[in-house]
Chain A
Amino acid sequence: GENVEQHPSTLSVQEGDSAVIKCTYSDSASNYFPWYKQELGKRPQLIIDIRSNVGEKKDQRIAVTLNKTAKHFSLHITETQPEDSAVYFCAASSAGGSYIPTFGRGTSLIVHP
């Protein structure tokens, strides 16, 4: 089955800095890569996703890049704000598994004002 590794487990930045979270996956058949943000005590929220037919996707201050050859994808957050503080999960899935995602272990992002 799919295995998703996520790094770092904790990331501490100053407000205004950029933050990068990296994930690798093992199954070359994976073609859908969502990212979720989970604030303390809340449900995971889908914030951005990328499919294997593109290499990069942006949505305001967040972007995701995908390197299918190397089997890794990354989340980039620019101009971080304290409200970006949360746990971020990457995931990978494929149509063969009806897009049921395999999640990474999560990254706790702390943005200091």
Chain B
Amino acid sequence: SAVISQKPSRDICQRGTSLTIQCQVDSQVTMMFWYRQQPGQSLTLIATANQGSEATYESGFVIDKFPISRPNLTFSTLTVSNMSPEDSSIYLCSVEDEPTYEQYFGPGTRLTVT
């Protein structure tokens, strides 16, 4: 399976600021995903990021709040913009292994907004 790393692993940010989370994969993958997991909750898909095209956002998530970049097949970033305490969560990137379609997750970024 792919080896996935994320930076930062955790951060404490002030309300109104932005944070960019990086996701790096050790192999080329077509599909990358960004999830949010609030404490004690399930995984909520924010968006799907394919290289060379705009990210596809799920209902309730918008590009202005969560801009995503996917400059190549091994890297993606998610920015959480104009943060509020409600954005405090764990953000995880994941990749889809082809051709099995198995999905693997990064270690997550724990974000606290004060």
Q: Which residues of A contact B (CB under 8 A)?
A: 32, 34, 42-46, 49, 89, 93, 95, 98-101, 103-106
Contacts and interface: CB of A to CB of B under 8 A. Distances in A.
A43 B42 contact: no
Contacts of A101: 103
Contacts of B33: 100
Contacts of B101: 32, 93, 95, 99
B96 A98 contact: yes
Interface in B34-86: 41-43, 45, 48
Given A46-B104, A89-B42, A89-B43, 5 more contacts: A43-B105, A43-B106, A49-B102, A98-B48, A103-B42
Interface in B74-114: 92, 96, 101-108
Contact of A98 (B31, B105, B108): B31
Interface residues of B, number: 18
A43 B92 contact: yes
Contacts of A49: 102
B109 to A, nearest CB: 11
Nearest to B59: A1
B96 A44 contact: no
A46 B2 CA distance: 12
